[in-house]
């Protein structure tokens, strides 16, 4: 039994951020399937015993129970010494993009994808979110024209955070992010080439076609 457990499910790009970090650092871990689509994260039991915030992922080790990938990723980076610059100023730049990811990039993209692909509701809401998604994507596309990875020349947890939703099939978004954004496409190829990279639908349990 692995000493590290990750509460997750295949369709969650937020869970994928933590799972991918564990995979890329060759950590000893095992997934705990969370039945999001049947309401597990919205239930009292999950909120009382796993995460009061009602979200995945949650990382559990002997004396740690952490949620929020913006906390889990720096924690794993500290533990492993990987995907994390040594310098405090460089770490602030990494964290600045992780904050942007949580605040503007993943936040709109994940909610948009959920409504578009899984909930199929509210056309004006989907259109509103799509406009926000495209504005955030444009900032990242421009930024990646200047350097190969989000925070410079080497991959960091900022890349692992920001790519969280970008390997899912384009049908789930209704448009092709990589085809429309060549700098993002080239960056995703660089991440895909990292030793130990695995697609989210292979890495986490619960995909309906598995």
Contact positions vs its own copies (CB under 8 A): 52-54, 64, 66-71, 74-75, 89, 92, 95-96, 98-100, 102-104, 107, 122, 124-125, 128, 139, 142-143
CB of 108 to its own copies, least distance (A): 9
CB of 166 to its own copies, least distance (A): 18
CB of 210 to its own copies, least distance (A): 28
State which residue, 140 or 201, has the beta carbon closest to its own copies. Answer: 140
Backbone angles phi, psi at 43, to 5 degrees: -85, 155
State which residue, 28 or 63, has the beta carbon closest to its own copies. Answer: 63
What 8-state DSSP symbol labels residue 114? I
CB of 64 to its own copies, least distance (A): 7
State which residue, 73 or 203, has the beta carbon closest to its own copies. Answer: 73
Quickly list DSSP for 62-104.
TTEEEE-HHHHHHHHHHHH--S--SSHHHHHHHHHHHHHIIII
Question: Which residues, listed in sequence order, are joined to residue 29 by a DSSP beta bridge?
Answer: 4
CB of 44 to its own copies, least distance (A): 11
Which residues, other chains included, contact 7 with Cβ-Cβ below 8 Å and sequence gap of 6+? 15, 31, 32, 34, 50, 51, 56, 57, 58, 59, 60
3-state secondary structure of 162: helix
Helix (H) or strand (E) holding 8: strand 4-8
3-state secondary structure of 38: helix
State which residue, 96 or 207, has the beta carbon closest to its own copies. Answer: 96
CB of 76 to its own copies, least distance (A): 12
State which residue, 92 or 207, has the beta carbon closest to its own copies. Answer: 92
State which residue, 79 or 194, has the beta carbon closest to its own copies. Answer: 79
Whole-angstrom Cα distance, residue 176 to residue 172?
Answer: 10
Helix (H) or strand (E) holding 31: strand 29-33
Strand order in the sheet with 58-61: 29-33, 4-8, 58-61, 64-67
């Amino acid at each position: 039994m692995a000493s590290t457990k990750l509460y997750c499910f295949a369709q969650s790009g937020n869970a994928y951020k933590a799972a991918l970090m564990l995979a890329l650092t060759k950590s000893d871990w095992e997934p705990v399937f969370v039945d999001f689509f049947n309401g597990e994260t919205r239930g009292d039991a999950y909120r009382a015993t796993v995460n009061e915030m009602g979200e995945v992922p949650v990382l559990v080790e002997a004396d740690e129970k952490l949620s929020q990938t913006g906390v889990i990723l720096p924690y794993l980076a500290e533990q492993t010494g990987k995907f994390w610059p040594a310098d405090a100023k460089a770490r602030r730049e990494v964290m600045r993009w992780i904050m942007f990811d949580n605040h503007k990039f993943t936040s709109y993209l994940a909610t948009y994808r959920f409504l578009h692909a899984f909930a199929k509701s509210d056309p004006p809401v989907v259109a509103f979110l799509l406009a926000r998604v495209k504005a955030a994507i444009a900032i990242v596309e421009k930024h990646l024209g200047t350097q190969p990875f989000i925070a410079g020349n080497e991959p960091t947890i900022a890349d692992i955070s920001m790519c969280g939703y970008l390997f899912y099939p384009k049908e789930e978004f209704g448009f092709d992010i990589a085809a429309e954004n060549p700098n993002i496409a080239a960056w995703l190829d660089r991440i895909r080439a990292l030793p130990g990279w695995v697609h989210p639908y292979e890495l986490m349990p619960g995909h309906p076609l598995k």
